[in-house]
Structure 1
Amino acid sequence: MGEIIGVVERIWRYPVKSTGGERLDSVEVDPRGLAGDRLYAVRDGEGRFGSGKTTRRFRRMDGLLRLSARLGHRLDAPVLLDPLGSPVADPTAFLRAYLGREDVELAREDAVSHFDQLPVSVLTTATLGWLRSVLPATVIDERRFRPNLLLRTPPGTPPFTEDTWCGHPATTRTGLTLHFLRASERCAMTGAPQPGLPHAPEILRTIATHHDNRLDALAEVTHPGRLSVGDELRLV
């Protein structure tokens, strides 16, 4: 049946790219990824999406991590929450005032993907535990790395075990199949402040020094299915 590489401890969905996410007990997963994940983004007048970095597709917009969002079951328009956790009545008007930009709007994904790379990110408790051991004075939380899945790994699992999954598929009891391809290259968002997590630039420096600036395992979805907290993930 394959080796059990971990048990799903937490599931995270990020309805609006680069803002805080929502924890789920279960979710449908299709070839695009977790239903509703990064379905919306803050888009500027040039068509670039708010992010922690500036590239051809993305524009750095500081402060987005202080916001969060949640979706209903029908994946209709998200509820955007301000830094105090209160719902915003008019997301686009709020974002224009909050960011000091008149050219931004909350936009649903169309022809251009909102994902940086691949649709599903998985991080292990083994890797998080290592990071806590080398940065004992820093608040380490998986929210800094924005995984879709936090996987509870067996005792004794070495850090960065995610690297060994690359090139392999993994399945759950429902038949959901992920195919791991590579790790995320990290940016300044790992140390950016967000509710409950202070500014911590030492996190990115540590990942760069010890692991070539990469952390997690990125996967594509090769067979859809439902995913729930407590599901075992088996490497094929």
Structure 2
Amino acid sequence: MWVQEIWRYPVKSMAGERLQTAEIGPAGIAGDRVIQVRNNQGRLYTARTRPKLLRHRAVLGPDGQVLVDGLPWQSDAVGVAVESAAGLGAHLVRSDAEDRFDILPLLVATDGMLKAVGTDSRRFRPNLIIGGVPGLTEREWEGAQLRIGSVLIGMEDLRGRCIMTTYDPDSGVQDLNVLRRIQRDFQGVLGLNSYVIEPGRVAEGDPVEVIRS
């Protein structure tokens, strides 16, 4: 098994970026979900209720600054776009608040699962995709650990999937049948809620070992 893909989402609920290497620490991949969309009372907005956010893409620039659609995240143009996508008063906030993660700091998926589901992997917003995993073997990994070089990741449980999986990552068109099939054929759970035990750097192609308790 190996690290097939690494993904980071600098702005929660916006499209993210694929990386060749990444530093992984207690808060997951460095730079992941460091900015969120909130209202004037501090309430977090996500694509579950504001799906238009998925139509915007966030990356880290060469200087570490977060860019949204190629513009600095604090720019007026980005502010207008965020309000248009999420409603009046919605704005971007840089924060390390715990609610920036839905459950745990990392989501691990596998190529076997993605092949079985047969839809674009971006619908599931994984941080790590592990290659060389037969079929739905990931469903046996709850409570196990992944060793990737110096990095050790704990896999707590399978992730319950939500309405965000129904939106095409390119067109934004919704297809409710995607979630209906996930619920019918996969009991509504795909991928693994995960956390970092030992930090370090990972890269695409790194070998992966499953350590079962």
TM-score between both structures, scaled by the size of structure 1: 0.82
> Residues of 2 paired with 1:33 and 1:99: CA distance?
26
Which residue matches 1:13? 8
Which consecutive unaligned segments of at least 5 residues does structure 2 have? none
Aligned residue among 219, 223, 227 for 2:194: 219
Which residue matches 2:158? 183
The answer on 1:70 being equivalent to 2:59 is: yes
CA spacing shift, 1:9–1:202, aligned 2, 3 Å: same
Counterpart secondary structure, 2:168: coil
> Residues of 2 paired with 1:130 and 1:200: CA distance?
18
Q: Superposition pairs for residues 56-205 of structure 1, below 5 Å?
A: 60-72=49-61, 75-76=64-65, 78-81=66-69, 87=71, 89-90=75-76, 91-101=78-88, 103-132=89-118, 140-154=119-133, 157-159=134-136, 161-173=137-149, 175-196=150-171, 198-205=173-180
Which consecutive unaligned segments of at least 5 residues does structure 1 have? 1-5, 54-59, 133-139
Aligned residue among 11, 26, 30 for 2:21: 26
Shift of residue 198 of structure 1? 4.0
> Residues of 2 paired with 1:196 and 1:152: CA distance?
27
The answer to whether the Cα contact below 8 Å between 1:65 and 1:193 also exists between their aligned partners in 2 is no
TM-score between both structures, scaled by the size of structure 2: 0.90
Count of residue pairs the alignment pairs up: 208
Q: Which has the higher helix share?
A: 2
Aligned residue among 33, 45, 51 for 1:50: 45
> Residues of 1 paired with 2:190 and 2:177: CA distance?
15
Counterpart secondary structure, 1:204: helix
Which residue matches 1:210? 185
Which residue matches 1:41? 36
- Identical amino acids, percent of aligned pairs: 33
Counterpart secondary structure, 2:83: helix
Which residue matches 1:234? 209
Shift of residue 35 of structure 1? 0.3
Shift of residue 110 of structure 1? 3.5
Shift of residue 193 of structure 1? 3.2
Counterpart secondary structure, 2:100: coil
Amino acid at match of 1:163: R
Counterpart secondary structure, 2:18: strand
> Residues of 2 paired with 1:98 and 1:209: CA distance?
31
> Residues of 2 paired with 1:50 and 1:13: CA distance?
18
CA spacing shift, 1:158–1:116, aligned 2, 3 Å: same
4+ residue segments displaced more than 4 Å: none
